[in-house]
Structure 1
């Protein structure tokens, strides 16, 4: 096998192995269902497609320019984790206390409104990005991994074309998996019934709250570690 082809697939597999566990499309599917339970099936299909596109853009942007953006604004990765954890935890708490969670009998908005109206399209576009794409699907952890995978991608060598191409292909595969999982996630709702859906949504909201707390803790731990490293007297 040509060494460049081998390098391409090696980098492709590295991107997939690094991003799929942290993006966790199957794990994010319950969150998607919880947040879109009152949307119609056609609207969830639109949301799933846009989430896939936004996830591709977020991961690719983080991989190629994430380090430069953080350096430009002087923002550290622990700070990104803390803020992202707060967002996720707040959304999980709100969903956990939503009295209408799991009630899919009434779609959001006017019942006669369709996705063909400009207002409806704008609503779906905005909701697909925040909070469904960021921070639920692509959160601080995914961005951190993408930035790490992007280290060395701009090296001036014979591989400066192969590595970016493999990275783009890997991110595209991840985004495609996210789309397919979200697109057909509503099929599971018809199997568990109304009561099962309510229980499912509540458990998903609680897990989301716990994930936010974990991300927040990781960020706070990183900040504490940085503080101790720069202020050794703090340990005495």
Structure 2
């Protein structure tokens, strides 16, 4: 029972850590500017992005530490560098001017074909927009326990990675699927306020990662 409880805590730590970094509400405004008012296209594209995000998270958590070992990069350096990336991204969000985003009808007037938009589901909508370097470095940090050669440890890491990735993917799918309604109800002012709040939380997470990496390097 204690093992299952610890496993559940690690699994829930994945969405708690990654969702503020991903910031799906800020992505929603960009998503809406791409799909316009096409609810069917929004559902299909949101589902594809959710699946892509899940695979990126799983691969980063399970394989990331082995890649670091091959290149001789320590986890402390990943924490420090990833924290700098996350903090820099948050600072840009805080300092960005709140220029008005194109409306859905203006986006539809741009004439991007549906199949062309679906082809962009991985690049740039999944990477780097949704799962950028900061998210990947956080995934590697979360999956650090998976580098053990013990089969039980690797199985535990796989369960945590898959379960956590699926929770993140479901949240992103639900938000993006309903993004047209969400963005419309928030309005321009509400979207800016929400983005600034999330950006501040993201800045704190980045500073915490930098501090943890610095302590590990000097420990």
TM-score (structure 2 length as normaliser): 0.71
CA deviation vs aligned residue, 1:98-145 (integer Å, no higher than 9, x gap): 55344434655962222223xx44434311232233238834334311
Contact residue 82 and residue 209 of structure 2 kept, 8 A: no
The list of structure 1 runs, each at least 4 consecutive aligned residues, that deviate by more than 6 angstroms after superposition, is none
SS in 2 for 1:128: coil
Residue in 2 aligned with 1:80?
A: 78
Contact residue 85 and residue 213 of structure 1 kept, 8 A: no
Number of aligned residue pairs: 214
**2:176 maps to 1:192:** no
Alpha-carbon separation, structure 1, partners of 2:134 and 2:174: 13
Unaligned residue ranges in structure 2 (runs of 5+): none
Residue in 1 aligned with 2:213?
A: 222
Alpha-carbon separation, structure 1, partners of 2:206 and 2:2: 33
Compute the displacement of 1:74 (Å).
1.4
Contact residue 67 and residue 147 of structure 1 kept, 8 A: yes
Residue in 1 aligned with 2:24?
A: 29
Alpha-carbon separation, structure 1, partners of 2:129 and 2:45: 9
Larger radius of gyration: 1
Root-mean-square deviation over aligned CA pairs: 3.9
SS in 2 for 1:130: coil
Alpha-carbon separation, structure 2, partners of 1:160 and 1:139: 21
**2:163 maps to 1:170:** yes
Compute the displacement of 1:191 (Å).
1.9
Compute the displacement of 1:22 (Å).
0.9
TM-score (structure 1 length as normaliser): 0.67
CA deviation vs aligned residue, 1:181-204 (integer Å, no higher than 9, x gap): 332244222223344334444x25
Compute the displacement of 1:30 (Å).
1.8
Compute the displacement of 1:165 (Å).
6.5
Residue in 2 aligned with 1:180?
A: 174
